[in-house]
Structure 1
Amino acid sequence: MTTDPPLILDIDGTLTRPEGWGIDPRIFDPLHEWDAPVVVATGKAFPYPIALCHFLAIPELVVAENGGVVYTGDDVTFTADRAAAQNVMAEYRAAGYGPGWGADDTVNRWRETEIAVNLEMPLEPLEEIADDYGLEVIDTGYAYHLKDPTINKGQGVLAMAEAVGIDLEDAVAVGDSINDVSTFEVVGRSFAVANADDAATEAADEVLEDVHADGTLGVLERVRGRSRD
């Protein structure tokens, strides 16, 4: 039988324009027409990948906030508690810092399980305070994510696969950052776009020659309708 494989796709750095900003509109038709599940696995706050699925007109299969939120289209599961991250941020603010996104902070406004901090903010005091609360800080290239170290995207993808019946041995993942490594570890085939960081590059089965959505679109073309035994 010939069919499209399930897809596990990051957003930032993976579905974005080659210039590195905004969703590349060229992804819309291929993903809308894909005849297998498409899971959006991202570090973004929960509403953002949901909105992307809406605009793509595909089922809402979402792993958000680096595995902290899993939504199968029927049920939402929060796998981490934001309270510790909020305590860290309170101390970080008391030390004279903050998330760095401005007064409205739409980056974190709807975040359920972690807190994202602007890369322009000091990292060392954030890591020191996070360590006191048993949390980690990961640099995705777009933000510092203050999160539970026992939670990751790969675990969310495993939970998603079990819930909706995805065979991850057949799945193809594309990503660009350290937070995609755990996803790469649970799928049959993984690709890092050319703009990926060292961690993603080392973990991927293949490193692409093209950046951002150019790389992802190339993968979609290659794996579309691949044969299965």
Structure 2
Amino acid sequence: MTPPLAVDIDGTLTRQDKSIDPRVFDVLRAWADEAPVIIATGKAFPYPVGLCEFLGIPLRAIAENGGVVYVEEAGEVVYNGDPDAAWAVAEAFEQEGYDLGWGPADMVNRWRETEVAVSLDRPGDRLRELAAREGQEVVDTGYAYHVKSPSVNKGTGLVSAADGLGLDPEEFVAVGDSENDAEVFTVAGESFAVANADEHARAAADHVLDASFADGFLAVAESFGIATQ
């Protein structure tokens, strides 16, 4: 029987150039025909919702590292975390002469509701010091520094999403590549880190795959009987 799936986007459904590998589209649709699929990402809420819409699968999303959770069966958007504290960190960072690194339009944070993302070329150590003062933490996803509540992560998001589906999180298979996937790996029943995963994800995963990026995800799909050709 095909298990429910919680899957990351960046580094997991993508190619090395950060674009989504089109081979995953029909595979995700086929998986969703068999069992619930939840898109679990550090990106802002519109991204996983948009991906579900364009795939034509039910809207089930964990966004902003667990800060926003939605499953359409429950009919309620759940917000977690402390956005005011996260933005206080960003303001203190900017007062020291740094910017967030995304330019004046800041398309990375424009729709973000529960955390703040900062470019990896900004000083992470200083950002962590300022975050600690506000009771926040900084998670390096390999794509950005995320300033967020330490009580919120993809694992707590999966617990909330599974509850909305009437499922136990241990029924889920999780696939990811980054530090922010480690928490969901500890909650899901079985977890897979793609070969390009960082040390945190690799240490937390039940399985570390030989294949990288979307090739790794496709290997997991094949192992559960989902056709990838």
Give the TM bin, normalised by the shorter chain. over 0.9
- Report how far residue 149 of structure 1 moved: 0.6
- Counterparts of residues 125-140 of structure 1 (less than 5 Å): 125-140=126-141
Q: Deviations over 1:87-121 (max 9, x none)?
A: 11111111000110011101000000000000011
Question: Structure 1: how far apart are the matches of 2:206 and 2:225?
Answer: 18
Secondary structure of 2:161's counterpart equals helix
What residue ranges of structure 1 are gaps of 5+ in the alignment? none
Which structure is richer in relative contact order (CA contacts within 8 A, separation 6 or more)? 1
With the length of structure 2 as denominator, give the TM-score of the two structures: 0.94
RMSD: 1.0
Name the residue aligned to 2:154: 153
Secondary structure of 2:187's counterpart equals coil
- Counterparts of residues 98-177 of structure 1 (less than 5 Å): 98-177=99-178
- Report how far residue 223 of structure 1 moved: 1.1
- Report how far residue 181 of structure 1 moved: 0.9
1:37 touches 1:166 (CA, 8 Å); kept in 2? no
What residue ranges of structure 2 are gaps of 5+ in the alignment? none
Aligned with residue 14 of structure 1, among 12, 19, 30: 12
4+ residue segments displaced more than 6 Å: none
Question: Structure 2: how far apart are the matches of 1:72 and 1:91?
Answer: 35
Name the residue aligned to 1:28: 25
Question: Structure 2: how far apart are the matches of 1:128 and 1:170?
Answer: 38
Counterpart amino acid of 2:84?
Answer: A
2:82 touches 2:148 (CA, 8 Å); kept in 1? no
1:7 touches 1:36 (CA, 8 Å); kept in 2? yes
1:6 touches 1:166 (CA, 8 Å); kept in 2? no
Secondary structure of 1:185's counterpart equals helix
Q: Deviations over 1:43-89 (max 9, x none)?
A: 00010110010111111110100000011111101011210111111
Question: Structure 2: how far apart are the matches of 1:171 and 1:150?
Answer: 21
Name the residue aligned to 2:196: 195
Name the residue aligned to 1:44: 43
With the length of structure 1 as denominator, give the TM-score of the two structures: 0.94
1:20 touches 1:212 (CA, 8 Å); kept in 2? no
1:5 touches 1:224 (CA, 8 Å); kept in 2? no
Percent identical residues = 55
